[in-house]
Amino acid sequence: MTTTVAYGPHPDQFLELTLPPGSGPAPVVVVLHGGFWRAAYGVDLARPLAADLTAAGFAAVAVEYRRVGAGGGWPQTVEDVAAALDALPGLADAARLDLTDVAVVGHSAGGHLAAWAAGRPLLPPGAPGADPRVRVTAAVLQAGVLDLERADEQGLGRGAVREFLGGPPVPEVLALASPVQLVPSGVDLLCVHGTGDDVVPPEQSERYAQAAAPTGSPVEVRAVPGDHMVLIDPGGPAWGLVRQWLRTRRRDAAAGARLDT
């Protein structure tokens, strides 16, 4: 059963929580859809992945947020992602959520938002999304737009970055908005990219991994056959890779917790 919860007053500020069978706390995966941050694309892109995750034993949270053309853009879109995550402890079903293990999964512009959410602890006080109430422990970035400056130079999405930022990228905004400048430590990070992706080039994932190297935060980059959209086919091997990665890291974390006790 899926429960829809508003986390703000705007019609697009809502999340959809689907719980797996059982009564105990389940690991949480937040799914952030793509679409170059534009209002033409919505949470329907996230729902099939959320359903698959629930079947695999996760509490899945599909998030809708304000997008460009419908009250979104910088910083409203990222503020919505932050608000949705920080709303989780207050949900009626919060007892079913293991908020010590929260992963974010995002495709394309959703990959940008997932990486940004993982990097929130690095934001300075007063910045949009700073001081997270819920911290991300893992992030899966599927063909993510992870270097906004480079994405703008390449004209990805026919000027999508400038639409999102409200103008050309400037250093003070990039420092708060571009994931390559906000690579977190202590977070499991996986980039998955199609080798034939001509919408968001694989270079974006590679640049994120390069940015992470000096921080000592390893980023696993997995190249898979296919184009931009193959990554969000819940029956395809690219998504199967993500599902297995999430299950393996959860199993390993649980085993580590038992050893610590």
pLDDT at 260: 54
Task: Verify cis geometry, omega within 30 degrees of 0, for the bond prior to 75.
Answer: yes
Residue 256 reports pLDDT greater than 70: no
Q: What pTM did the predictor assign?
A: 0.96
Task: List the domain boundaries for the chain.
Answer: 2-260
Say what angle helices 76-86 and 109-118 make with each other, to 10 degrees.
60
Chain centroid offset of residue 86 CA = 14
CATH code, 2-260 = 3.40.50.1820
Indicate the average pLDDT of the chain: 95
**C-alpha distances out from residue 137 to 85, 104, 208, Å:** 12, 8, 17
- What is d(CA 224, CA 25) in angstroms, rounded to the nearest whole number? 33
**Residue 68 has what DSSP assignment?**
B
- What is d(CA 54, CA 26) in angstroms, rounded to the nearest whole number? 10
Please name the residue that has the structure tokens 């995966």.
29
pLDDT at 258: 47
Percent of the chain with pLDDT over 90: 92
**Mean pLDDT computed over 14-27:** 96
CB 212 within 8 A of CB 189: yes
Taking only the tens place, the pLDDT of each residue in 180-203 is 999 999 999 999 999 999 999 999
> Facing residues of 139 across strands?
104, 189
The candidate with the shortest Cα–Cα distance to 20, out of 60, 47, 48, 49, is 60
The candidate with the shortest Cα–Cα distance to 77, out of 10, 5, 144, is 10
> Facing residues of 200 across strands?
none
Taking only the tens place, the pLDDT of each residue in 37-61 is 999 999 999 999 999 999 999 999 9
pLDDT at 217: 80
CB 23 within 8 A of CB 34: no
